[in-house]
Amino acid sequence: MPFSSLRDNPLFQSNLVIPGASTDQGLNHDGERIFSQLVRGAKIGRVEVQELPTVEDALHTLRVQRREEYKQAVYIDPLAKLSITASDDMDLFLLMDKVNEFLAGDGQVMLILGDSGAGKSTFNRHLEYELWQKYKPGGRIPLFINLPELDRPDKNLIRKQLRSFEFSDEQIQNLRHHHQLLLICDGYDECQFLSNLHTTNELNRSGQQDIKLIITCRTQYLGPDYRDRFVPSVAGEYHRPANGRFHEAVIAPFTKNQIKTYVEKYTPFEPQSWVAKDYMDRLETIPNLMDLVKNPFLLTLALEALPEVVEGSLDLSRFRVTRVQLYDIFVDHWLRVNKRRLHEQRLDKSERETLYELQEDGFEKYAIKFQRELAVEIFKRQGGRPVVDYVHKRDNTSWKAPFFGPGTLLALLELSKLDPQASQAAANAISILVRAGVQFNGENLRGIRIPGADLTGGQFDSAQLCASDLTGVNLTKAWIRQAHFNAAQMDGVEFGELPYLKERLPIDSCAFSPDGKLLAFCGDNHSAPGRDKISVYDTETWKRIHSLQGHDSKIIGVAFSPCSRYLVSGSWDGRLVLWNCETGVVNRIMEGHSAGTSAVAFSPCGKQVASVSLDKSLRLCDINTGACKVYVSDAATLEPRSSWMSHIGNVTGVSFSPDGQLIVSCGGDSLVKLWDSNTGALISVFTGHTKPVTSVEFSPDGSNIASSSHDHTVRLWEVNPIGLSSQSSDSSDPRTGLAYSPDGRFLITGSFVGGVQQYNSETGDVALVIPVRTRGSECVAYSPDGLRFISGSRGGDLTAWDTQTGKAAFTMCGHARRVICVAFSPCGQQIASGGYDKTVRLWDARSGLLLRVFSDHIGEILSIAFSRDGLKVASGSWGGDIRVWDVESDITGLVWRPDALEFATSCKDGSVRVWKLVQDEETGRVAVKMIWSAGCIGLTVSDADFAGAVGLSAINRKLVEQRGAIV
């Protein structure tokens, strides 16, 4: 039996690190972190922390927990230097002083470099402990983050770490927006990262709360041009580095005084007869040993090994101690300790027999052989790169199989049923098995403990999971048909999907509250005009909490206030109604429009509501008094006192500035107007267009306004009271669509007949011209990374363009008529388009391949958008209907196997599945059981039994019930 089948297995670590990973100083780790260079040891699973009602209560609990977990018997403040090239002996400073300077200033990212074993992790944990000791409510919150423990820490880093501390989504949102955070990110090199954590986690977004980042990394991991991986970007502009916000320090080797201090602190904890002078005499006498132990990790090994190494030696001046000797002695000691731990563990019969066999052959000898063989293979096959990627289907015949094969992993699942301390190992094991394609259909997994496991795409049809610990398990796209979850712990389980809401009436408009707790939408009651209602749902339980009725005609739109306390609705009856979201009571009715409203919006400050109407006016109302800025009324009587028309002709567009202080509007009178949102005063009238202006938009930083017109131009206006266009660009045909790049530096626009133009949004200079003369480019959209944009044409095709070169990457053909709208998914991997052929089409953004076609609309598609999670696409068509589509697969074929009760299915997503009809001998019930599958898998839970599941959230309970599960 291989050594890795026992509990002292790398899988018992929350991150799988193979020999060669970084190490650090310290005695309190019991050798386990030190020995991570060979095989990680056992780790007790996550401590369950009960969620408390307030953020400060939760922070208090976390503070107590983290202080109790800190156990550093010997700690020496490390010295540091300014750069890698600086001398180890000159201009050194205390690293803690440099960090405190960073925390007190306006820096955003600090990089701490150091050799393997220099003490980076030890410093990080001590820093966190010191900051928690000094913490007071409202102060900066330190979060120690072991990066290798998180899945994809380059995205949603804060949320993932706080979820691991049992913070609720509401508490996490509160912390992100109302508290100062310090993210202490340890082990950047162990994750094999190449990305900039500050940028990929969008920590420089405008309006982001004060968040600082400390990152530690091994010096040897980085190349000469490493700064781009760490320097933050200018707020709101991801392509401009903020070099002044970046700090750096390099941990220096221990000095002789530091070594002496460490020895003096070490001696009282070591049950040896030696005193501090004995250790120092040996360290200074043995040649080259003092140079070796300038590394804190090697100093720890030397102090532990010296009494045994020098025993019986008389002339120490001729004695030689090498780094390899120190490692070998320590490893032998560590194995003896963990052999005793195995004897104390509860093992089943086969595991106990295996342990006896290993003892007969020499436990330490066999274990060292296993580790040495693994280390040799890693250096031979991977050039020493410490992280081993094992995929069973790909690697089951490779050199990796003897070390990481599934037999060992399955044994860990069984062990977790008996030993709670094996839960972390079991969670890692089953995550690897699922990723390797191992299926668990019909398996008896009753009582397994796998908290936090990633079972994405796993197959568990008819599996027994009763009384299992599934806390925080990810079941996205898993197949769990007819699986049993009675008494299973399912707190924090993720299915990767949300339930839907079914209404009797067509839905015209919907909106989420900013805090995410409410969803409101209005339906069109054609059979009973004037009886339209607004439905408000609680997004935690997905139950309707209000049915609001107060308009005399069709409701065209709803919008929440930024504080989520109020909801405003607009209608064809010309009135705006302000609702209290808590009580469902009307707070205020604002009248004045002589025709129906066509759009409503709250200002970012939440004090005003803007509305545009078919009566060609724009009104700005104060929600507290009802007084209007553009259509002025007496606050006491609400009687009109004077009237001010915003445009002569239809108002075709309106937009708030990012800070909410300004409003820009445009209309059929060819004018663009800038208004003060607080007073309603007209600031500027931008003249230059000669035909109706079709759309208007502020730049992300609010310094410029872009407008497009039927006069064949797009104009950029500087936000000032002069009212002149800073630049304009004429073309030979009307401009039809426009979009800002994600960083706000560029603006692209399409045209009715001709091509696409990309402008510098600051100067108005044309940065790129792409002629598309034959079919025009009616709609445009940037990819989330800003590297590509898409244009849709009147001929029915779409083209992906490179934003730097202007060259076409590929063309997507499929629409039979004109393409009107296009959008990228949030992840940038899919493109949705709609047009006059009444279809919505889903494309692969990397290859241009057509993935799905949705064709239930009865009118031309005019608008399209992805949900934030990218799992749904919403489309609006001529006639007012809005449809929401699941981005999932359809079955394209079915065939029965000859002479067997088996059949196979194929899907549009490229998946193939084989099924079998089985009959229960006792009940006679016939069921379908999946035998195997290949390709994409989606979440399927039909007939799964969740009736006795513990901790399953209301929203997940609603989801599985809709999918056909028993709840």
Query: How far apart, in Å, are the Cα atoms of 357 and each of 334, 338, 351, 352, 551?
Result: 20, 16, 10, 9, 82
- pLDDT-based confidence at residue 314 (cuts at 50, 70, 90): low
Local structure of 572: helix, strand or coil: coil
Report the b/e string of 457-479 with b at 16+ CB within 10 A. bbbbbbbbbbbbbbbbbbbbbbb
Residues 6+ apart with CB under 8 A from 445: 413, 460, 463, 464, 465, 468
- Nearest of 422, 411, 408, 486 to residue 453 by alpha carbon: 422
Instruction: Please report, in angstroms and rounded to a whole number, the separation of the first and last CA atoms in the chain.
Output: 43
Give the tokens for residue 85.
């090239």
Query: How far apart, in Å, are the Cα atoms of 110 and each of 116, 183, 223?
Result: 19, 10, 18
Task: Output the pTM of the full model.
Answer: 0.42
Which H, E and C letters describe 434-455, residue by residue? HHCCCCCCCCECCCCECCCCEC
Inter-residue long-range contacts of 401-409, CB under 8 Å, 24+ positions, other chains counted: 402/2, 403/2, 403/4, 403/370, 403/374, 403/377, 404/4, 404/432, 406/433, 406/436, 406/438, 407/5, 408/2, 408/4, 408/5, 408/9, 408/11, 409/11, 409/433
Please give the average per-residue pLDDT across 693-709, as a whole number. Answer: 73
Compute the half-sphere exposure of residue 620: CA atoms within 13 Å on the CB side of its CA. 27
Instruction: Report how far residue 874's alpha carbon sits from residue 341's, in angstroms, rounded to the nearest whole number.
Output: 57
Query: How far apart, in Å, are the Cα atoms of 550 and each of 570, 577, 698, 699?
Result: 10, 8, 34, 37
Residue 240 has pLDDT above 80, yes or no: no
Q: What is the CB neighbour count within 10 angstroms for residue 641?
A: 10
Instruction: Report how far residue 39's alpha carbon sits from residue 698's, in angstroms, rounded to the nearest whole number.
Output: 56
Instruction: Report how far residue 11's alpha carbon sits from residue 16's, in angstroms, rounded to the nearest whole number.
Output: 6
CB 170 within 8 A of CB 178: no
Residues 6+ apart with CB under 8 A from 779: 736, 737, 750, 791, 792, 819, 820, 821, 822
* Tens digit of each residue's pLDDT (9 = 90 or more) over 56-87: 888 888 988 898 888 887 899 999 998 887 87
Greatest mean pLDDT among 50-64, 78-92, 99-113, 791-805 lies in 99-113
Q: Taking the CA atoms of the chain, what radius of gyration do you get in angstroms?
A: 33
CB 735 within 8 A of CB 751: yes
Partnered with residue 906 across adjacent β-strands are: 893, 912
DSSP structure class, residue 254: P
Partnered with residue 716 across adjacent β-strands are: 706, 727
Greatest mean pLDDT among 105-119, 165-179, 236-250, 262-276 lies in 105-119
Greatest mean pLDDT among 173-187, 247-261, 348-362 lies in 247-261
Residues 6+ apart with CB under 8 A from 233: 198, 199, 204, 239, 240, 241, 242
Instruction: Report how far residue 238's alpha carbon sits from residue 252's, in angstroms, rounded to the nearest whole number.
Output: 33
Residue 822 has pLDDT above 50, yes or no: yes
Instruction: Report how far residue 161's alpha carbon sits from residue 158's, in angstroms, rounded to the nearest whole number.
Output: 5
Phi-psi region of 651 (alpha: psi -120 to 50; beta: other; left: phi over 0): beta
Write out the DSSP string of 496-532: S-------SS-EEEEEE-TTSSEEEEEE--TTSTT--
CB 136 within 8 A of CB 231: no
Give the tokens for residue 898.
């000859």
* Tens digit of each residue's pLDDT (9 = 90 or more) over 510-568: 777 888 788 888 876 655 555 678 888 887 777 888 888 888 888 877 888 888 889 99
DSSP structure class, residue 770: E
CB 262 within 8 A of CB 299: yes
Report the b/e string of 736-751 with b at 16+ CB within 10 A. bbbbbbbbbbbbbbbb
Strand 682-686: give its sheet, edge to edge.
651-656, 662-667, 672-676, 682-686
Beta strands in 224-303 (DSSP E): 233-234, 237-241, 246-251
- pLDDT-based confidence at residue 2 (cuts at 50, 70, 90): very low
Write out the DSSP string of 665-724: EEETTS-EEEEETTT--EEEEE---SS-EEEEEE-TTSSEEEEEETTSEEEEEESSTT--
CB 773 within 8 A of CB 754: yes
DSSP structure class, residue 787: S
DSSP structure class, residue 136: -
Give the tokens for residue 340.
């005793």
Give the tokens for residue 743.
């960083």
- Nearest of 805, 708, 696, 809 to residue 750 by alpha carbon: 708
Least confident of 31-35, 149-153, 678-682: 31-35
To 10 degrees, what angle do helices 169-178 and 55-69 make? 90
- pLDDT-based confidence at residue 216 (cuts at 50, 70, 90): very high
CB 786 within 8 A of CB 803: yes
**Apex CA 395: angle with CA 390 and CA 400, to 5°?**
65
Give the tokens for residue 345.
């563990």
Instruction: Report how far residue 86's alpha carbon sits from residue 63's, in angstroms, rounded to the nearest whole number.
Output: 37
DSSP structure class, residue 77: P
Instruction: Report how far residue 367's alpha carbon sits from residue 403's, in angstroms, rounded to the nearest whole number.
Output: 12
Please give the average per-residue pLDDT across 437-465, as a whole number. Answer: 87
| pLDDT reported for residue 341 | 60
The percent of residues above 70 in pLDDT, for the chain, comes to 74
Residue 256 has pLDDT above 50, yes or no: yes
Instruction: Report how far residue 288's alpha carbon sits from residue 326's, in angstroms, rounded to the nearest whole number.
Output: 14
* Tens digit of each residue's pLDDT (9 = 90 or more) over 317-330: 667 677 666 667 66
Please give the average per-residue pLDDT across 621-629, as a whole number. Answer: 76
Q: What is the CB neighbour count within 10 angstroms for residue 594?
A: 13
Instruction: Report how far residue 829's alpha carbon sits from residue 831's, in angstroms, rounded to the nearest whole number.
Output: 7
| pLDDT reported for residue 166 | 84
Mean pLDDT value across the chain: 76
- pLDDT-based confidence at residue 818 (cuts at 50, 70, 90): confident
Least confident of 184-193, 196-205, 660-669, 723-732: 723-732
- Nearest of 298, 292, 294 to residue 319 by alpha carbon: 292
| pLDDT reported for residue 401 | 75
Residues 6+ apart with CB under 8 A from 850: 812, 814, 841, 842, 843, 844
Length of the chain: 967
Instruction: Report how far residue 2's alpha carbon sits from residue 370's, in angstroms, rounded to the nearest whole number.
Output: 8
Residue 12 has pLDDT above 50, yes or no: no
Query: How far apart, in Å, are the Cα atoms of 569 and each of 112, 525, 578, 588, 593?
Result: 53, 16, 7, 11, 14
